[in-house]
Chains A and B, each alone.
Chain A
Amino acid sequence: MNRPWLSQYPPGVPAEIDIEACASLKDLLSTRCTRFAELPAYSSMGTTLSFRQLDEASRAFAAWLQKAARLQHGDRVALMLPNLLQYPVALFGILRAGLVVVNVNPLYTPRELKHQLDDSGATAIVVLENFAHTLEQVIGSTAVRTVITTQVGDLLPPFKRWLTNAVVKRVKKLVPAWQLDAAVDFRRVLSAGRALTLDEVALGHDDLAFLQYTGGTTGVAKGAMLSHGNMVANVLQVAAWIGPGMQEGAETLVIPLPLYHVFALTGALSFFSTGTQTVLVANPRDLPAFIQVLKASRPTAIIGVNTLFRALLEAPGFAELDLIGLKLAVAGGMAVQQTVAHRWKQATGVPLVEGYGLTESAPVAIANPIDIAEWSGGIGVPLPSTEAAILDVEGQPLPPGHVGEIALRGPQVMKGYWNRPEDTAQVLRAGGWMRTGDMGTMDERGSFRLTDRKKDMIVVSGFKVFPNEVEDVLALHPGVLEAAVIGVPNERAGEAVKAVVVRKDPALTEADLVAHCRLHLTGYKVPHIVEFRGEPLPKSNIGKILRRELRHAAPTQTGSPAPAGPG
């Protein structure tokens, strides 16, 4: 296939990566732990784990999973953690034991958690104590038998650990009461695991590494099967992309996006593979604390989404920060707004480099070169060893300049959806091409641009919300006769979720509905705006809802605060 984009590759970026160099993500991580042993790997709350310490802790964790919990190669282990040091220890441990990681948003409601545990068939879970009460409500009806709980400060030095855990529990009261029989403490797992021997598990490119859940039009999240080969490929592809601008073993990455989000996960692993110190930020919505982290860590790179860069630019104290060492700011997950890109470049001297991809492509497939002088408004060019094309409705390639569906082919493209062959067949087509559902164009030089959204979804601060799921939850409320959900522009979050509702019970209030949604939906999916209508929702004569009329007919609130982020 003709690859016109190769001429735009910056010097030092190869056209192909060698994924045969690593048999598995486990091998890639292990070799880096050896090569960079004495360097700092991950930092959180002022405490740092070196690559060697991470290697030792994850080995103990893996040994415990293998010998004490007796999990078998291919078993699924859910990871319900925010950005704390426990995350990389557990992540590497699960992979080293030959198990499959199922990332779970810690803020999920019981309904959402249960779906993911049931669908993945996870038999073990690692959960922060703050969210154990959610697990407690559903665990009885799932296949989960092994529960590892951890407290926020578990990997901090003794006094700090005690203080942090006490403050979280007793002062801030962030840990609702919970009771889980047979739950094992994270620290106990590590100490017991150190006495156990980890049997090496032979893993290859086809072995499953992650079931990474992503929403669908049905409102039911599907598990994208990301193999070790997919992950090795994307980690090496992204590392090759950023390579020329970065110095091995000498960079500091700040990661405020949750690692359970695939964009943060792979991005951070790519930096890890080059010996970078990764500074984890657990709660970027606490802007004063986040600014302090930036001040103390003096990052050379940062990965975020538009909403976050925007919030930083507006935060008191950001203008005074010394970000002279910053070399790279990567944005993904949602479209970057021109004003945010412009202000970020002015404030830091570094452009926002936008990338594009899907959970199904592990995720990065297309990105702007990191040596761009200015934000381009486009999504860039395909990464090494990646092909992209614009297809018409029949799947035939279109010439440059024509709008069509973006399709991707490369070693990072998933194996399919877990237990959903029909959904897989819809997106994975002959010849290894994956249809993305996003509409765009390619120019003569191979640069891609998104033109319109094809999927029926709303993107809130980089997190996808599918109207069908929210409508399903609204319909559960006895006071609702009819409801439809649409996305409306929101300056901070990009889009906000708006519910248009016809009441059965005239006494139903917005507060009632929002409270009802909070029981069943994570914060970012909960409608930010509720509009009640006194007449049936607008429909065509054959009964299809006219979303454009929902969008335009009634005025929406303006200047409202940003919708709840994913936390």
Chain B
Amino acid sequence: MAKERGPELSHRIVLRDGREVNLRAITEADAPAIQRAFDLLSAESRYNRFLQHKKHLDPAALARGVHPRPGQDFALVATVPGPAGTDIVGAAQYVRASTADDATCEFAITLAEEWRGCGLARELLTRLLKKARCDHYAAMVGLVLADNTPMLALAHKLGFSVEPLSEGDTAVQVRCQLEPWQDSATEPGRLW
């Protein structure tokens, strides 16, 4: 099992356009900020995240999202200072893909509209991949709408393959095989 890392660890990064964000693991206290971020998302962003029209964030799903099960699930948020203290401008998570398969995890990434195209999604997904390896997953998968070109291009760059789901389906599955860490010496010291 990977070393547990406390939520207090955060890492400041500078994006391509010069803006700075903090990356850290999600905490229970993030729930209101996640709700605010969801309310600001466009209909298209919500559709890309849930593959369905979504007006409200399901409270049970929000609760699950801010309580990842250590070793199985993981969620990372990108934050900036905001009027309410902290604004969440991006979130990335993975969960075990199915109860029957403990070797595959499923990921999702959502960014605030004005934080696209600056490399933030790449930062988040790269860290998710590293952490999933630490959690001993063998593969990471994701469902992506087939016309979500930016997400597909990013997945392609990070080594995911694209698998069509079935005839007439407008979503595809992206899959990345995860090489296990050979020994603790190669395990990165800091994931975010």
Interface residues of A (CB under 8 A from B): 216-220, 392-395, 405, 426, 435, 437, 439, 452-457, 467-468, 471-472, 475, 483-484, 487, 489, 537, 540-548, 551-552
Since A437-B147, A456-B147, A545-B52 are in contact, a sample of 10 more A-B pairs with Cβ atoms closer than 8 Å, ordered by chain A residue number, is A217-B44, A217-B47, A217-B48, A394-B157, A455-B146, A456-B171, A475-B53, A547-B169, A547-B170, A551-B166
Are B146 and A454 in contact, CB atoms less than 8 angstroms apart?
yes
Are A542 and B108 in contact, CB atoms less than 8 angstroms apart?
yes
Please give the distance in Å from B46's CB to the nearest CB on chain A.
9
Best-buried of B49, B52, B106, B168 by chain A (most CB within 10 Å): B52
| Cβ-Cβ contact count across A and B, 8 Å cutoff | 104
Are B95 and A218 in contact, CB atoms less than 8 angstroms apart?
no
CA–CA, A120 and B49, complex, Å: 29
CA–CA, A183 and B162, complex, Å: 56
Please give the distance in Å from A472's CB to the nearest CB on chain B.
5
Q: What 0/1 readout, one digit per residue, does chain B (74-110) give for beta carbons within 8 Å of chain A?
A: 0000000000000000000111111000000011100
| B153 at interface by CB-CB < 8 Å | yes
Please give the distance in Å from A383's CB to the nearest CB on chain B.
24
| B40 at interface by CB-CB < 8 Å | no
CA–CA, A489 and B149, complex, Å: 26
A426-B149, A471-B52, A545-B52 in contact; A453/B170 too (CB < 8 A)? yes
| B156 at interface by CB-CB < 8 Å | yes
Are A544 and B51 in contact, CB atoms less than 8 angstroms apart?
yes
Which residue of A219, A454, A548 contacts B43 across the interface (Cβ within 8 Å)?
A219
Beta-carbon nearest neighbor of A220 in chain B: B43
Which residue of A439, A456, A483, A551 contacts B145 across the interface (Cβ within 8 Å)?
A456
CA–CA, A456 and B144, complex, Å: 11
- How many of chain B's residues have a CB under 8 angstroms from any CB in A? 39
| B143 at interface by CB-CB < 8 Å | yes
Chain B residues with CB below 8 A from A552, complex form: 166
Beta-carbon nearest neighbor of A216 in chain B: B44
| B164 at interface by CB-CB < 8 Å | yes
Please give the distance in Å from A467's CB to the nearest CB on chain B.
7
| B50 at interface by CB-CB < 8 Å | yes
Please give the distance in Å from B12's CB to the nearest CB on chain A.
27
- What would 7 A/B residue contacts be, using CB atoms closer than 8 Å? A218-B44, A219-B53, A483-B53, A542-B107, A544-B49, A544-B171, A547-B51
Which residue of A216, A455, A541 contacts B98 across the interface (Cβ within 8 Å)?
A541
Are A218 and B153 in contact, CB atoms less than 8 angstroms apart?
no
